[in-house]
A and B are shown apart, each in its own frame.
Chain A
Amino acid sequence: MIRIERRLTESRWLVAAVPAGSLVAAAILSGLILLVTGHDPVATWSRLLDRGFFAPGAMSATLVTATPLLLTGLAAAAAFRMQTWNIGAEGQLYLGAVGASGIGIALRDQSPFLVIPAMILAGIVTGAAWAAIPGVLRAYTRTNEIITSLMLNYVAGLLMSYLIFDSHSYWRDLSTFTARVFPQGKYLPDAASWPNFPLGGIAIPLGFVLGMIAAAVLWVIYTATRFGFEARVIGDSRAAAHYAGIRTRRKIVAVMALSGALAGIGGASEIGDFRHVLDPRGLQQASFGYAGIVVAALARLNPFAVIVVAILLGGLSNAGFSLQGATFPAGLVGTLQGLILFCALAGELLVHYRIRFARRAGAAPPAPVPARAEIA
């Protein structure tokens, strides 16, 4: 009989050893699959690392992919820390993109020093407003925020499609005949293109810099401010928070808005750093919002770890694209990526739980400690 039991204590040793073990397990499993499908595992791995991180330009490309993952990862971490389950970073990112692109188009002839901050602000405001909807519903009508925030993702996706495909909206390009037949968004002016910061041959996008600042701010909020303290008390026990005179409902709305604002910056950076046009299909295919939940979970909701995990996942995803080819089908790439994620998440389970093998009947079986042993 196999039992899964919660660990009473989580040792520091495990926190370091388990990710390493997960990596080894992922290597073995993916190696087997590569061998079976007739590929050289070592060559594949080195190509993976090369394309993801070490080849010229690879790191810069990885950071572009990592930027939205970083911001949606922070969005998830901000909410999850208070045990508020915002699954809506996806939709909040779309709304951030809608807001930022709208402002970028509107401020067509202005200086970048005005346009870019305005785009960031628009992303923050629209993302926060979108997240505040499930926040208000949660706080004042006790609606489950998981469901409402998830459903609003579809609404946000449809809203973007409507703006570009199903209407003559402000965002849609109607200047040429082809654009009228094949709908697409208006491209943003050059002044709305966000700058890069070169660092030793790597171009760091502005969005990524904002993400790193946001990570530091989030860390300070949660460790050193009254706001963060209240959020942590609420996350730990609603009853204790009420008892301590904390205004739980306002705080839920505020944290949801904070979470949405972070995702909204992610949407703005997608426009400013990368796409320069509101692109409903591209954004929906990328699914950065959902990936952000994985990022936050792997980072154990630590904002600084979110930075690292976002870069790793960004690299993995980019390398995947370049591995694909005639001899290397896309499905195999997805399998490899899935295996690595699976091993990482399974390892995470091992930090919290242990697996015991116990025989049901036997002469002297080791007595299992029951899950959550009560020490009388």
Chain B
Amino acid sequence: MRGITKRFPGVLANDQVDFEALPGEVHALLGENGAGKSTLSNILTGLYRPDEGEMLLYGKPATFHAPRDAIDAGVGMVHQHFRLAASFTVAENLVLGHRDAADRGLLLEPRVVEGRIAELSRRYRMPVNPRARIWQLSVGEQQRVEILKVLYRGARILILDEPTSQLTPQEADDLFQTLRLMAAEQRTIIFISHKLEEVMAVSNRVTVLRRGKVIGTVMTGDTNTGELARMMVGRDVVFTQKKQGPAQAERQVALELRQVSATGDLGTPALHNVNLTVHAGEIVGVAGVAGNGQHELAEVVTGMRRRTSGQVIVTGRPARGSNPLEAIRRGIAYVPDDRLGTGVAPSLSVAENLVLKAFRRPPISTQGFLHPRRIRANAVELMRRFNIAASSPQTPARQLSGGNIQKVLLARELSSHPRVLVACSPTSGLDVGATDTVRGLLLEAARDGVGILLISEDLDEILALADRIAVLYGGRITGIVERQHAEVEQLGLMMAGAATK
């Protein structure tokens, strides 16, 4: 790709980007959110067309008018969020929307397809049952299906967008194996990520993007994480780390769960007799692979989901019912993982979102009437204190960047002086700078005596922040360890369901 430029209203997403990847290499595309990685890959896969610049495939100029053209040219993309039909089988998903699949007219020939899948999955060591239905598969298996789908369509160039974001450390290692096998066959792998360790582990070369521009391309062997981080952010970064744990015994219990059980959205059991204690000023990390009850745990504590049994006790008083309003009144703050749909009302203004919970009480409202001037003053104050970059308090929340939305959420939740804060994946999808800010705010809240339940799939984050780490697997707490004694391998095994001791 030469001199690729792509503009969106008000944003220069790609600015004269030159990028090349060779057959047989794993080429990492590294950059913060908003650096232009996704735009570049969307151009490469025919979703967008560049405003300027040209693209050459194996030396020949190529113009893609639609994603279909890119697929025909052998460019395939594995998206971060899988695009699979959940009620269909693996084999059906592979031929879905594929024009000249192994079909005759309208009839599928399942055996031919299954045979090819079996062959592909043997070759790349990606075991998967072609007859299984997607919803029966784990996240790691679903990702294999996504990769197989791209291979099945004959891709020579594979683009993987943040492929490890939902995998356990072990699953990620397996994936890296597969990628190396594919590279050995002279395929080109473009690996998009903002995780430095991964990039160091899997790639041959790294191209770093910052604010739509290429900062440089380096051989992975000639560099280190520190240099890559500098290139990515443009300055030295050291993530905020927890200094020391609080003296637990002296602190009072902020949150206690006793034998809590709950069901998931489909009515199946999601939490089994969970016991957990969070002290004031303590950060308890809950690790686990997505879909093992984390979401339900957060919702049960915050009253958004009914529990089928057990008690949720805040500063000694058990909750009577389970509804969000009661939880808010009891001082349970919540930063949900679905920031834009749940954590804020996207079309409402920043100012309105900052009073999303406080609007019921004076001074924001009295006798049922709101006080616009106080809402505005509250917004101005919080935007200053939490450094929220929005053009005005009236800006709709959805126009903010992910980091600023998260700051709006934290500003609102922390300014309510909670006793307990439940934070779900608080930095997922945020860039390095915003991640650091958010982590700093969590640590500060803990210092002020808030008991924090940090639920995250990012093990590094939990290791950086938590005093104690609980692992959730299949809706059960499979173990709780002090951070000082925690080992990544052991946590990884616990996350994958291997019994401890």
Q: A368 at interface (Cβ–Cβ under 8 A)? A: yes
Q: Quick check: is B313 within 8 A (CB to CB) of the other chain? A: no
**Interfacial chain B residues near A182, Cβ < 8 Å:** none
- Residue B277 at the chain A interface, CB threshold 8 Å: no
When distances are taken between beta carbons in the complex, the residues of chain A under 8 Å from B39 are 376
0/1 string, A233-255, CB within 8 A of B gives 1 = 10011011111111100000000
- Is there a chain B Cβ closer than 8 Å to A4's Cβ? no
A55–chain B nearest beta-carbon distance, Å: 44
Q: Is the CB of B369 within 8 A of A237?
A: no
Q: Is A369 an interface residue (CB 8 A)?
A: yes
Question: B14-57 interface mask toward A, CB cutoff 8 Å, 1 = contact, 0 = none?
Answer: 00000000000000000001101111001000011111000000
Contact A240 to B341, CB < 8 A, known contacts A226-B365, A376-B37: yes
A233, B348: Cβ atoms closer than 8 Å: yes
Contacts of B326 in A (CB 8 A): 245
**Contact between A244 and B42, CB atoms less than 8 A apart:** no
In the assembled complex, how far is the CB of residue B397 from the closest CB belonging to chain A, in whole angstroms? Answer: 9
Check if A360 is an interface residue, CB within 8 A of chain B: yes
* Interface size bracket, A side: 20 to 34
A8 within 8 Å of B (CB atoms):
yes
B359, A229: Cβ atoms closer than 8 Å: yes
Q: Is B372 an interface residue (CB 8 A)?
A: yes
Q: Would you give the shortest CB distance from B98 to chain A, in whole angstroms?
A: 22
A43 within 8 A of B: no
CB distance from B364 to the nearest CB of A (A): 9
Q: Does B202 contact A (CB under 8 A)?
A: no
**Chain B residues with CB under 8 A of A239:** 338, 341-342
A236 neighbours in B (Cβ, 8 Å):
345-348
Q: Does A178 interact with chain B (Cβ within 8 Å)?
A: no
Q: Which of A225, A245, A360, A369 contacts B8 (CB 8 A)?
A: A369
Contact between B357 and A245, CB atoms less than 8 A apart:
yes
Bound CA span A236–B342, Å: 10
Instruction: Please tell me which one of the listed residues B8, B341, B343 contacts residue A375 in the complex, with CB atoms under 8 A apart.
Output: B8
Partner of A240, one of B37, B47, B342: B342
Q: Does A327 contact B (CB under 8 A)?
A: no
B8 in contact with A224 (CB, 8 Å): no
Query: Interface digits, A126-169 against B, CB 8 Å rule (1 contact, 0 not)?
Result: 00000000000000000000000000000000000000000000
Which of B47, B323, B336, B352 is within 8 Å of A245, CB to CB? B323
Closest to B35 in A: A376
Interface pair B50/A367, CB less than 8 Å apart: yes
B370 CB–A CB distance under 8 Å? yes
User: How far, in Å, is B180 (CB) from chain A's closest CB?
Assistant: 28
* Chain A binding surface, main DSSP class: loop
Pairwise interchain contact B49-A376, C-beta atoms closer than 8 A: no
Residue of A nearest to B371 (CB): A224
Taking a contact as CB atoms under 8 Å apart, the answer to whether B368 and A368 are in contact is no
Q: Are B370 and A226 in contact (CB under 8 A)?
A: yes
Least CB separation from B401: chain A residue: A375
What is the chain B residue whose CB lies nearest that of A367? Answer: B49
In the complex, whether A9 has a CB less than 8 A from a CB of chain B is: yes
Q: Are B65 and A370 in contact (CB under 8 A)?
A: no
- Flag whether A36 is at the interface (Cβ < 8 A): no
Q: Which of B345-387 contact A (CB under 8 A)?
A: 345-348, 352, 356-357, 359-360, 365, 368-370, 372
Report if A243-B369 is in contact (Cβ < 8 Å); known contacts: A367-B50, A376-B36: no
CB distance from B83 to the nearest CB of A (A): 15
Cβ–Cβ contact A226 & B359, under 8 A: yes
Query: Which residues of chain B have C-beta atoms less than 8 A from A375's C-beta?
Result: 8, 11, 13, 34
CA distance A226 to B360 in the complex (A): 7
In the complex, chain B residues whose CB is within 8 Å of the CB of A376: 13, 33-34, 36-39, 42
Chain B hits for A244, CB < 8 A: 324, 328, 356-357
A361-B334 Cα distance, complex, nearest whole Å = 51
Q: Is A224 within 8 A of B370, CB to CB?
A: yes
Residues of A close to B488: CB separation below 8 A: none
Is B289 part of the contact surface with A, judged by Cβ < 8 Å?
no
CB A3 to nearest CB in B, in angstroms, measures 12
Using Cβ atoms and an 8 Å threshold, which residues of chain B touch A237?
341-342, 345-346
B9 within 8 A of A: yes
In Å, the complex CA distance between A8 and B11 comes to 13
> B481 to chain A: closest CB distance in Å?
31
Q: Which residues of B contact A225 (CB under 8 A)?
A: 368-370
Q: Give the distance in Å from the alpha carbon of A51 to the alpha carbon of B327 in the complex.
A: 62
A-B contact pairs, 10 of them (CB 8 A): A226-B368, A232-B345, A233-B345, A239-B342, A240-B342, A242-B324, A244-B328, A367-B48, A376-B34, A376-B42
Extra A-B contacts (11), CB below 8 Å, given A226-B369, A367-B50, A373-B9: A226-B359, A236-B346, A239-B338, A243-B356, A245-B326, A367-B51, A370-B47, A370-B48, A374-B38, A375-B8, A376-B37
The 6 A-B residue pairs whose C-beta atoms are closest, nearest first, are A245-B325, A376-B38, A367-B49, A236-B345, A245-B324, A239-B342
Chain B interface (Cβ < 8 Å from any Cβ of A): 8-9, 11, 13, 33-34, 36-39, 42, 47-51, 65, 303-304, 323-328, 334, 336, 338, 341-348, 352, 356-357, 359-360, 365, 368-370, 372
